Homo-oligomer: A and B are copies of this chain.
Amino acid sequence: MPDSNLIETVRVELADRSYDILIGDNLLMQAGEKIKSVLPNAKCAIVTDENVAAIHLEALQENLKAAGIEAKPIILPAGEATKSYTHLQTVIEAIIEMRLERGDAVVAFGGGVIGDLAGFAAASVRRGMNFIQIPTSLLSQVDSSVGGKTGINSPQGKNLVGAFYQPKLVLADTAILNTLSAREFRAGFAEVIKYGLINDADFYDWLEQNWDGIQEGGEKRIHAVATSCRAKAAIVARDEFEAGERALLNLGHTFGHALEGITKYQSDVLVHGEGVAIGMVLAHAFSARMNQSSPDDTVRVTNYLKKVGLPTDMSGLRNHVKTADQMMDFIAQDKKVSRGNLTFILTHGIGQSYIANDVPAAEVHAFLTEILES
């Protein structure tokens, strides 16, 4: 499958904070020109991780240099542990040492870890510098680089500290995903499937039929990424600060986060997208149990996730996840719990998710007990 020349543009409409996401193969080779078109005079700090730097940093630096953009890299260790106060301070001080001003730019070049950390640093240095995202993992292209959530983890939990801060431009190079591990690709793909399941049954149908093409790359992958970005952008445009509808994006995530918590975020055991995959199956199964959807949809989702190579139940985690109480502890702690009521994303069927407030904790407990303890 040769690379495609197609470039899709998704506009994120947020009044004076609106921006474009460009999606296409080898966009990295146009980074300088594209950045110059939105920020003609900006110097750049490139925040990246060791893995991405080893494979792709030289190409980015040469491209920026050819466009006449002054840029210096800040290279961090790869992995979730980098989203910490310590690394935030390191990045902020490196940016200040470079004497960058508000009109200059912080460029996040990596997966969601780098995007979240660099975005919070960009938001905080001088109370807000320009920010550019060049997401390099599938998850970051379809999810974390869209919508302006940035942040770090605190000892008490993930993503508890940060800012809503929008980039000026996002460049999603779909060919750069060829160097991503198959496991990380699948994990990111769980979020792509999520958009179909939330509110776009046609997209879900298309995804079912095109997994091979999306893996290969080219136009089908571009379409999958662009449709995902468009779906998320539409929800974010209506609810930038997560007052309501944005919660739909958490389909599968309440269960998923509990699994990540119980397995202590050890990525050899479970990565985020795998937790989301299992969580989406559980959300469908729980919805069916509550007579909100048909069990056939649960089967259909399970089968597709299996075909993709994602986990669909907790059988691989039985060394860690043993009781319903274990799960409930994390679910009740989850930041989407408001004033003690459980809020869940449930579904009336594929493409028909909805926000259910006041889900009885006892029902969730009973559901998990059946699965885990019988």
Contact = CB atoms under 8 A, between A and B. Distances in A.
Nearest to A151: B127
A164 interface: yes
A96 interface: yes
Interface in A107-153: 123-128, 149-151
A123 B164 CA distance: 9
A206 interface: no
A96 B127 contact: no
Interface residues of A, number: 30
A71 interface: no
A271 B320 CA distance: 57
A214 interface: no
Contact of A93 (B93, B149, B156): B156
Chain multiplicity (copies)? 2
Interface string A320-347: 0000000000000001001100000000
Contacts of A164: 127-128
A97 B157 CA distance: 11
Contact of A154 (B92, B154, B157, B160): B92
A160 B85 contact: no
Interface string A88-102: 010011001100010
Nearest to A156: B96
B162 A97 contact: no
A163 B127 contact: yes
Contacts of A89: 85
A161 interface: yes
B92 A125 contact: no
A125 B93 contact: no
Interface in A300-357: 335, 338-339
Interface string A74-92: 0000000000010001001
Contacts of A154: 92-93, 96
A161 B85 contact: no
Interface of A: 85, 89, 92-93, 96-97, 101, 103, 123-128, 149-151, 154-157, 160-164, 241, 335, 338-339
7 contacts: A85-B85, A97-B156, A124-B151, A125-B160, A127-B163, A127-B164, A128-B241
Given A124-B163, A128-B163, 15 more contacts: A85-B89, A92-B154, A92-B161, A93-B154, A96-B156, A96-B157, A96-B160, A103-B338, A123-B163, A124-B162, A125-B160, A125-B161, A126-B161, A127-B151, A163-B163
